C-alpha cells in the first residue's frame, strides 16, 4: 500500500497551493483530482485555453501561474482523473479510483480541497433541456469553446453571473438578457456590511465586469421573482412575475456553495451558515475539522473565492507539517502570517457580496408543489412536504422515505433543498432539519471495479 504524509483531494487553487507548500516543508504529498488537468472549477483546463480572448484576464494570468507552480513542485504525486470514493477515518486508509482500478492508500493526514458547487436553483421547469446551471455553461466554454446559439437568458445573481455573461458575450453568444433576482434593498443592506475599502480591488474588478457586459449589449431586468421555465420538448420561454421572454437557453445561477459532499459523508461537524445560506464544515483557523485526521481548505470550507482558497490551502499544509512533527509551532505561526494577511484581504468583500446576493427564500425552498427538487428520482417539493407531514424530520428521513438523494448525484443537488422544504413545512430551522448524510462511494464506481479489489479472507 502506498503511503503519504498528506493526501489532498482536489487540484484547484486550495489543493494546488497546499501541495506546493506541504512539499516545500518536506512532506510526501499525493493530490487526487477528478479532472484531467489541474486548475479546479475556477481555472478548469487553463493550460489548454492558450490565449483564448474570451477567457483573458485573471483566468489565464493568475490561473496559469498557479498551475505552473503546481506542475513544477517536486515531491508531489499528482493523480488526475482520480476519484476519492471512501475514507476509513479509523485507519487513514483512503480508497481512490483511477481508470477503472481501485486502490487503497495510507495517508497520515487528509486535506479536502473539494471546492464549490453551484447552488441548485429549483424553479418550475428547471429540468427541461436547454436549462442549465451557469457553471455548466462555463465548463462548456472552458473545455469545448461551446457557446449557446439563439437568445440566451441568464437568470439569477452573483459575481459569476456577470463573469459568465462577459465571457459568453466575448465568445459571440446570441442576444443575452440578465434577469437579476436580487431583492430590493439588498444593495443598501450590503453597504452596511462594509469591507468595501479593503476589498476595493475585487470591487473594482466586479464593476469592470458589469461595465463590460453592458458595453457588449447585455440587457438587464432587475428585481425578478417567481421564475419559471416553459416549453414542451425544451425550454422555449422564461416567465416571471410581470414579464416573459422567449429563449433557447436559460442559464440559472444563484451563487456557489461549498461542496461538502465528502465532508458530510465523513460525519465531520457542519454548521448552517446563515450569511451564505449553506452548510460549511466547522473548522479552526488552520482549516482543521472536527476529526483529527482531516482538514478542509478552499471553498469547500466556506465560499471565499480562489485567492482565499489558495491562502487556506497554504495554512492547512503548514498545519499538517506541524501536526506531523516536521515544523515547530512557532515556525508554523511565523510562516502562516503572510497567508493569513492574504486571506483577510481576499475575504474583506465577502460580507458585502453575501448580503448583496443573498438568495430569495424560494430558491432554498421552492413554493410551487410541482417543482422537482430531486432530479435523479424526480421527487417534487410537494412530495417532500407530504413526507414531512408524515413524520420525516430531515433530509435523511426523506431519503429513506422518498428516495430523494438516493440517485446517481447522491444528494449533491437536492440535499439542502429537501432540508429547507422540510424546515419550512415543520416550522423549524434548516439547521434543525439537519444535513443530508451522503454515503460512500463518494463517487459512483461500478460493481466490476469494486469486485476487482484484491481479495481478503472474509470470516
Partner 1 sequence: MSGPEVLVVGGGLHGLSAAFHLARRGRRVRVLEAGRLARHASGFSAGGVRTLGRHPAEIPLALEALELWHRIEELVGDDCGFRASGQVKVAESEADLAVLEERAAALRAAGYAHEEMVDAAGLRRLLPAVAPHAVGGMVVRRDGFASPYRTSLAFGRAARGLGAEIVEGARVIAAERRDGLWHLRTADGAEHAAPVLVNAAGAWGARLARHLGEEIPLGFNAFMMMLTARLPAFVTPVVGATARPISFKQAESGQVMIGGGHKGIGSLESGATTLNVERLAYSARTALELFPILAETRIVHAWAGIEGVTPDDIPVIGPSALAEGVIHAFGFCGHGFELGPLVGDIVAQLATQGSTNRPIAAFAPGRFASDRLGGPAAAAPRAALPQPAG
- Residue whose CB is less far from partner 1, 72 or 447: 447
Region binding partner 1 by CB under 8 A among candidate stretches 55-63, 268-276, 339-347, 438-446: 438-446
Nearest CA to 362 out of 115, 117, 126 is that of 126
Which one among 53, 172, 391, 427 touches partner 1, defined by CB under 8 A? Answer: 391
Site membership for partner 1, residue 427 (CB under 8 A): no
Rounded Cα distance between 74 and 360, Å, is 47
Kindly provide the b/e burial profile for residues 121-138, where b requires at least 16 CB atoms within 10 angstroms of the residue's own CB. Answer: bbbbbbebebbbbbbebb
Residues 6 or more apart whose Cβ sits within 8 Å of residue 26: 75, 321, 326
Rounded Cα distance between 90 and 136, Å, is 36
Rounded Cα distance between 113 and 130, Å, is 31
Site membership for partner 1, residue 397 (CB under 8 A): yes
Angle 256-149-409 (CA atoms, 0-180°, nearest 5)? 35
Rounded Cα distance between 247 and 231, Å, is 10
Q: Three cell numbers at 24?
A: 516545500
Residues 339-378 that bind partner 1 (CB under 8 A): 377
Angle 338-282-272 (CA atoms, 0-180°, nearest 5)? 120
Size of the residue set binding partner 1 (CB under 8 A) = 37
Which one among 13, 18, 86, 261 touches partner 1, defined by CB under 8 A? Answer: 86
Site membership for partner 1, residue 447 (CB under 8 A): yes
| Smallest distance, partner 1 to C-beta of residue 373, A | 17
Site membership for partner 1, residue 440 (CB under 8 A): yes
Site membership for partner 1, residue 400 (CB under 8 A): yes
Which one among 41, 95, 380, 417 touches partner 1, defined by CB under 8 A? Answer: 95
Provide DSSP, 257-294: EE--HHHHHTT--EEEETTTTEEEE---TT-B-SSTTE
Rounded Cα distance between 215 and 423, Å, is 43
- Residue whose CB is less far from partner 1, 52 or 104: 104
Site membership for partner 1, residue 232 (CB under 8 A): no
- Residue whose CB is less far from partner 1, 154 or 266: 266
Which one among 143, 393, 429, 432 touches partner 1, defined by CB under 8 A? Answer: 393
Site membership for partner 1, residue 89 (CB under 8 A): yes
| Smallest distance, partner 1 to C-beta of residue 81, A | 16
Site membership for partner 1, residue 439 (CB under 8 A): yes
Residues 171-200 that bind partner 1 (CB under 8 A): none
| Smallest distance, partner 1 to C-beta of residue 66, A | 32
E strands within 242-378? 243-246, 249-254, 256-258, 270-273, 278-281, 294-296, 372-374
Angle 439-440-444 (CA atoms, 0-180°, nearest 5)? 115
Site membership for partner 1, residue 226 (CB under 8 A): no
The answer to whether the CB of 371 falls within 8 A of the CB of 420 is no
Site membership for partner 1, residue 445 (CB under 8 A): yes
Residues 242-281 that bind partner 1 (CB under 8 A): 267
Which one among 403, 426, 429, 431 touches partner 1, defined by CB under 8 A? Answer: 403
Site membership for partner 1, residue 90 (CB under 8 A): yes
Region binding partner 1 by CB under 8 A among candidate stretches 13-21, 201-209, 298-306, 441-449: 441-449
Task: State the angle between helix axes of 306-323 and 13-24 in degrees (0 to 180), rounded to the nearest 10.
Answer: 30
Which one among 88, 189, 274, 292 touches partner 1, defined by CB under 8 A? Answer: 88
For partner 1, the binding residues (CB under 8 A) are 86, 88-90, 93, 95, 102, 104, 267, 377, 390-391, 393, 397, 400-401, 403, 406-408, 410, 439-441, 444-448, 450-456, 458
Amino acid at each position: 500500500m502506498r503511503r503519504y504524509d498528506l493526501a489532498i483531494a482536489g487540484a484547484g487553487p486550495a489543493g494546488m497551493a497546499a501541495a506546493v507548500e506541504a512539499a516545500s516543508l518536506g512532506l510526501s504529498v499525493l493530490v487526487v483530482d477528478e479532472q484531467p488537468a489541474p486548475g479546479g472549477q475556477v481555472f478548469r483546463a487553463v493550460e489548454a485555453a492558450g490565449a483564448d480572448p474570451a477567457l483573458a484576464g485573471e483566468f489565464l494570468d493568475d490561473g496559469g501561474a498557479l498551475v505552473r507552480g503546481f506542475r513544477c513542485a517536486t515531491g508531489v504525486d499528482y493523480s488526475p482523473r482520480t476519484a476519492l470514493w471512501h475514507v476509513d477515518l479509523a485507519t487513514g486508509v483512503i480508497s481512490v479510483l483511477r481508470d477503472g482500478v481501485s486502490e487503497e492508500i495510507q495517508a497520515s493526514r487528509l486535506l479536502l480541497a473539494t471546492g464549490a458547487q453551484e447552488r441548485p436553483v429549483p424553479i418550475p421547469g428547471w429540468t427541461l433541456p436547454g436549462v442549465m446551471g451557469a457553471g455548466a455553461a462555463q465548463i462548456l466554454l472552458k473545455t469545448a469553446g461551446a457557446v449557446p446559439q439563439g437568445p440566451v437568458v441568464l437568470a439569477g445573481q452573483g459575481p459569476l453571473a456577470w463573469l459568465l455573461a462577459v465571457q459568453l458575450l466575448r465568445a459571440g453568444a446570441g442576444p443575452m438578457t440578465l434577469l437579476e433576482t436580487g431583492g430590493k434593498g439588498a444593495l443598501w443592506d450590503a453597504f452596511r456590511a462594509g469591507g468595501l475599502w479593503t476589498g476595493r480591488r475585487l470591487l473594482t474588478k466586479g464593476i469592470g465586469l458589469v461595465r463590460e457586459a453592458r458595453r457588449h449589449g447585455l440587457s438587464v431586468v432587475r428585481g425578478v421573482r417567481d421564475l419559471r421555465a416553459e416549453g414542451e420538448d425544451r425550454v422555449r420561454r422564461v416567465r416571471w412575475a410581470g414579464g416573459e421572454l422567449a429563449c433557447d437557453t436559460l442559464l440559472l445561477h444563484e451563487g456557489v456553495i461549498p461542496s461538502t459532499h465528502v465532508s458530510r459523508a465523513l460525519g465531520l461537524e457542519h454548521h448552517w451558515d446563515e450569511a451564505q445560506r449553506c452548510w460549511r464544515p466547522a473548522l479552526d483557523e488552520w482549516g482543521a475539522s472536527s476529526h483529527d485526521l482531516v482538514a478542509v481548505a478552499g471553498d469547500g470550507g466556506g465560499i471565499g473565492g480562489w485567492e482565499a482558497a489558495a491562502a487556506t490551502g497554504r495554512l492547512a499544509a503548514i498545519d499538517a507539517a506541524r501536526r506531523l512533527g516536521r515544523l515547530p509551532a512557532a515556525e508554523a505561526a511565523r510562516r502562516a502570517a503572510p497567508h493569513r494577511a492574504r486571506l483577510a484581504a481576499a475575504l474583506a468583500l465577502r460580507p458585502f457580496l453575501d448580503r448583496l446576493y443573498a438568495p430569495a427564500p424560494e430558491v432554498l425552498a421552492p413554493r410551487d408543489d410541482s417543482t422537482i427538487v430531486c432530479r435523479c428520482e424526480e421527487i417534487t417539493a410537494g412530495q417532500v412536504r407530504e413526507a414531512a407531514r408524515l413524520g420525516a424530520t430531515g433530509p435523511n428521513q426523506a431519503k429513506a422515505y422518498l428516495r430523494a438523494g438516493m440517485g446517481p448525484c447522491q444528494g449533491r443537488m437536492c440535499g439542502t433543498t429537501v432540508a429547507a422544504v422540510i424546515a419550512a413545512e415543520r416550522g423549524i430551522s434548516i439547521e434543525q432539519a439537519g444535513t443530508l448524510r451522503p454515503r460512500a462511494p463518494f463517487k459512483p464506481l461500478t460493481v466490476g471495479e469494486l469486485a476487482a479489489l484484491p481479495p481478503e479472507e472474509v470470516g
